[in-house]
C-alpha cells in the first residue's frame, strides 16, 4: 500500500533551470495539495486540487505551476528555479474537498544554487 | 496575526512527565482541527483529530475551546519516542479550501 509517493527525494538545481516534482497517490483521494516547509515558517500551501481538471492557488503560488489530468497524479513544476525556492516540498492527499486530515508523501528536498 | 499560532518551544521534559501544548487560531469559522506529529526530516503524520467535546487516544488528550479559539494537546507519561514537533492544524472553511498548519512546538523527552 504505497499511499502518497513523491519523486525525486533530493534534487539540486541551478538558478534558472526548470523541473517537475512528481506526486502520485493510490487511495483514490479527490483532494491533493503541495506545500513547502521552511525553517520557522511551518507548512505553506502552494497549490491544491479538489479533483481531476481542477486546480487552485494556495498562499505561495508564484513560480510554480500544477496540473491534475488524473485523480492519481499531481505534478508540481518549477518554471525558472530561484534560490528562494530552496525548501522541502511535501505533497498530500485526502478525501473530500480540503477539510479532512491529509496523508503526506515523504518529501522532496530541493536546493537551488 | 498568524492564522494558527504555537509556542515553538522546545519543551524539554523528563520521561514520565505530563506536558501540554496550546495553539490559538484566528478564524472563528474553522470547523476542523487536528494535531500532527513530525519527526526530524520526516513528513507530518496525523496524530489525532480534535472534537468539540474533547477526545482521548491513549496517553494523548485533545481539547477544543471555541469561545477562546484555542486547542490543546496533553501528553501523559511522556516517552522518549514522543520527542518530535507537534503541529496544530485548522481548516480555513472560507474561500480557499485548505488546512492551515502552525509552525509547530518541539518536544524533547529526556531520559
Q: Is the pLDDT of residue A49 over 60?
A: yes
Residues in chain A: 113
- B-chain residues near A97 (CB < 8 A): 97
DSSP β-ladder status, B45-49 and A108-112: unpaired
- Helix and strand counts by DSSP (H, E) for chain A: 0, 11
Tell me whether residue B110 is exposed, middle or buried, using C-beta atoms within 10 angstroms of its C-beta: 0 to 12, 13 to 18, 19 or more.
Answer: exposed
Q: What pLDDT is attached to residue B49? A: 92
Q: Largest alpha-carbon pair distance within chain A?
A: 38
Q: What is the pLDDT of residues A91-105, one digit of tens each?
A: 999 988 777 888 999
What is the pLDDT at residue A71? 96
- Cβ contacts (< 8 Å) between B89 and chain A: which residues? 101
* First-residue to last-residue Cα distance in chain B: 37
Full DSSP string of A50-78? EETTEEEE-SS-TTEEE--SSSSB--EEE
Q: Which residue in B42, B43, B103 is closest to A41 by CB distance?
A: B103
- As a residue count, chain B comes to 111
**DSSP classification of residue B84:** E
Q: Tens digit of pLDDT for each residue in B84-98?
A: 999 999 987 655 578
Q: Looking at residue B75, what is its pLDDT? A: 98
Nearest CA-CA distance, residue A80 and chain B, Å: 26
In chain A, what residues touch B5 (CB-CB under 8 Å)? Answer: none
Q: Is the pLDDT of residue A60 over 90?
A: yes
State the DSSP H helix or E strand holding residue A12, giving kind and residue range, or none if neither: strand A10-13
Question: First CA to last CA across chain A, in angstroms?
Answer: 36
Percentage of the residues of chain A whose pLDDT score is greater than 90: 87
User: What is the pLDDT, as a whole number, of residue B93?
Assistant: 63
User: Between chains, do A104 and B34 touch, taking CB under 8 Å as contact?
Assistant: no
Do residue B49 and residue A101 have CB atoms under 8 angstroms apart?
A: yes
pLDDT at A40 over 90: no
Of B34, B36, B20, B10, give the one whose Cα is nearest residue B78: B20
Give me the phi and psi of A85, to 5 degrees please.
-95, 5
| Residue stretches of chain B with pLDDT short of 70 | 93-96
Q: Which chain A positions have a beta carbon within 8 Å of B8's beta carbon? A: 40
pLDDT at A22: 98
Q: Tens digits of per-residue pLDDT, A5-15?
A: 999 999 999 99
Amino acid at each position: 500500500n504505497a499511499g502518497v509517493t513523491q519523486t525525486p527525494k533530493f534534487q539540486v538545481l541551478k538558478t534558472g533551470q526548470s523541473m517537475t516534482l512528481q506526486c502520485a497517490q493510490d487511495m483514490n483521494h479527490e483532494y491533493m495539495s503541495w506545500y513547502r516547509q521552511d525553517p520557522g515558517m511551518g507548512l505553506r500551501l502552494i497549490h491544491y486540487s479538489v479533483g481531476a481538471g481542477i486546480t487552485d492557488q494556495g498562499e505561495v503560488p508564484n513560480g510554480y505551476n500544477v496540473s491534475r489530468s488524473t485523480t492519481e497524479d499531481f505534478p508540481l513544476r518549477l518554471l525558472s528555479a530561484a534560490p528562494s525556492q530552496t525548501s522541502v516540498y511535501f505533497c498530500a492527499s485526502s478525501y473530500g474537498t480540503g477539510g479532512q486530515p491529509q496523508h503526506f508523501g515523504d518529501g522532496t528536498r530541493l536546493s537551488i544554487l | 496575526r498568524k492564522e494558527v499560532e504555537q509556542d515553538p518551544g522546545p519543551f524539554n521534559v523528563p520521561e514520565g512527565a505530563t506536558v501540554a501544548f496550546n495553539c490559538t487560531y484566528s478564524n472563528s469559522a474553522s470547523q476542523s482541527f487536528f494535531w500532527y506529529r513530525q519527526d526530524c526530516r520526516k513528513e507530518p503524520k496525523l496524530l489525532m483529530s480534535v472534537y468539540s467535546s474533547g477526545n482521548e487516544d491513549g496517553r494523548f488528550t485533545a481539547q477544543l475551546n471555541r469561545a477562546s479559539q484555542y486547542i490543546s494537546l496533553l501528553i501523559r507519561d511522556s516517552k522518549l519516542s514522543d520527542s518530535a514537533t507537534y503541529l496544530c492544524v485548522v481548516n480555513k472553511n472560507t474561500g480557499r479550501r485548505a488546512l492551515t498548519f502552525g509552525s509547530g512546538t518541539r518536544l524533547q523527552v529526556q531520559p
